[in-house]
Amino acid sequence: MNKNELTFIGCDCEYQDAEFVLFGAPFDGTASFRPGARFAPQAMRLNSRDGLETYSPYQDKDLADIRVCDIGDLQFAFGNPAAVLDIITQTTKTIVADGKIPVMIGGEHLVSLGAIRALAEKYSDLHIIHLDAHADLRNEYLGEKLSHATVMRRIWDIVGDGKIFQYGIRSGEKAELVWGKSHIYTHMFDCNDIETALKKTAGKPIYLSIDLDVLDPSVFSGTGTPEAGGIQFSDLIITLLKMSNSVIVGADINELCPHYDRSGVSTLVACKVLRELLLAFFP
Ligand SMILES: [Mn+2]
């Protein structure tokens, strides 16, 4: 008999042996429209056990052959985004100091800021590749500087001009998109032209942040702020595979809200994206 331990499928390596460390950041405290992303990490673990193979036919690789330790969800006191971010930063620092690559399951998109704060401390030349329907470049949103709608602007505060490459963007206010033109690289509507980012980030440390609402709502409806006109699942996989030679030093996927898709398909889509992400960056 063994004790019951729920990890994402194939991610049950011991911590000291792991190359990747997976953790959940179940926070959705700044969600402005539909909350629920806090339920994503556990829903993904549970659904991955019965609904996902460890083997990827896209990459001919298997999660069983790579060393990933799922350390579970971080524990947050809700209601204080700054304190939540501190916990994510400290956890990420520990993982990085131990020579491992952090992979985070959100949560809402603000959680990316916590991980990037830690990685930018270690990598002064950190670049960001950001897949999303939303630009997330507002300086403040409803009076708040820390928000899912401001997260890329806060990340820009840290990394500065020319370091952020965003793809799939199809929503934002005019002012933030105009601001973006002189500070970051934005490719609207799809992930074609990812090669531009790959050329400019070649050999540089990259943090990859995937807001799953970059996918079309017909593929992925279980999210807080769905935006029509998104990319297909195959586009996302092709984009990940094109990045497989990049120096990825950390990654996250965020904004799955399992309860808005009663079919459960969105949760399984998120599971599959995570599997392909983990396998794409294993040498
Ligand atoms: Mn988004």
The reported pLDDT for the residue numbered 55 is 98
* Per-residue model confidence as pLDDT tens digits over 25-63: 999 998 888 899 999 999 999 999 999 999 999 999 999
The reported pLDDT for the residue numbered 110 is 97
Q: What percent of the chain lies above the pLDDT cut of 70?
A: 100
How far, in Å, is the centroid of ligand 1 from the Cα of 267? 16
How far, in Å, is the centroid of ligand 1 from the Cα of 191? 14
How far, in Å, is the centroid of ligand 1 from the Cα of 4? 34
The reported pLDDT for the residue numbered 33 is 84
The reported pLDDT for the residue numbered 82 is 96
CATH architecture of 15-280: 3-Layer(aba) Sandwich (3.40)
* Domain residue ranges in the chain: 15-280
The answer to whether 151 and 110 are in contact (CB under 8 A) is yes
The reported pLDDT for the residue numbered 280 is 96
How far, in Å, is the centroid of ligand 1 from the Cα of 2? 40
The reported pLDDT for the residue numbered 176 is 96
The answer to whether 204 and 237 are in contact (CB under 8 A) is no
The reported pLDDT for the residue numbered 253 is 98
How far, in Å, is the centroid of ligand 1 from the Cα of 112? 12
Q: How much is the average pLDDT of 69-94? A: 95
The reported pLDDT for the residue numbered 2 is 76
How far, in Å, is the centroid of ligand 1 from the Cα of 9? 26
Name 209's Cβ contacts closer than 8 Å, sequence gap at least 6: 109, 112, 116, 128, 129, 130, 131, 132, 251, 252, 254
**Residue 3 pLDDT class (50, 70, 90 cuts):** confident
How far, in Å, is the centroid of ligand 1 from the Cα of 186? 14
pTM, two decimal places: 0.97
The reported pLDDT for the residue numbered 159 is 98
How far, in Å, is the centroid of ligand 1 from the Cα of 15? 31
pLDDT greater than 80 at residue 223: yes
The reported pLDDT for the residue numbered 77 is 85
* Per-residue model confidence as pLDDT tens digits over 127-186: 999 999 999 999 999 999 999 999 999 999 999 999 999 999 999 999 999 999 999 999
